[in-house]
Amino acid sequence: MLKTPILHPDVLLGLGRLGHGSKVLLSDGNFPHATATPPTCHRVFLNYAPGLINATDILGPLLDTLPVERAEVMQPNRDGPYAMQDDPPIFAEYQAMLAPHGVDTLDPLERFAFYDAAREPDVGLLIATGEQRIYANLLLTIGVVKPD
């Protein structure tokens, strides 16, 4: 038995291949997992059923495992069928979880700019969740582990 917050072997394999500047994508259940990530991306599918497993369930152990220097989210549409006038409530949850780890802001990207960022070669790990809340996609840039 390992004594790390993450025990999933495929997630550990994916994380072990990454370093400073690499990116980890937590995707919600609506994200086009296979077509909106680079071919070299290691994909882990934890989207067992709608609502299982949520993005926040994955984020907590990730933050205890790796340093994060930046967090990007998909900016909600302000008009159209999926319009939201305010930020999605999950953004506040993300901010509350990220702040103790030194990430004070979420950087919003327009929808198609987010898809473009998710296709960049630096995205080395996708963790597909069963998150049902829309606009719950989160792109994390790995920071540096500083010496003691």
Q: Is the peptide bond before 53 cis (omega within 30 degrees of 0)?
A: yes
Q: Which of 57, 64, 107, 116 is catalytic?
A: 64
The two tokens of residue 129 are 């969740």
**Sign of the four-CA dihedral 73, 101, 142, 35:** negative
Q: Which of 20, 57, 107, 116 is catalytic?
A: 20
20 is catalytic: yes
Q: Which of 8, 87, 101, 115 is catalytic?
A: 115
115 is catalytic: yes
94 is catalytic: no
- Rounded to 10°, the helix 89-98/55-63 angle is 10
Is the Cβ–Cβ distance between 119 and 15 less than 8 Å? no
* Residues that are catalytic: 20, 64, 115
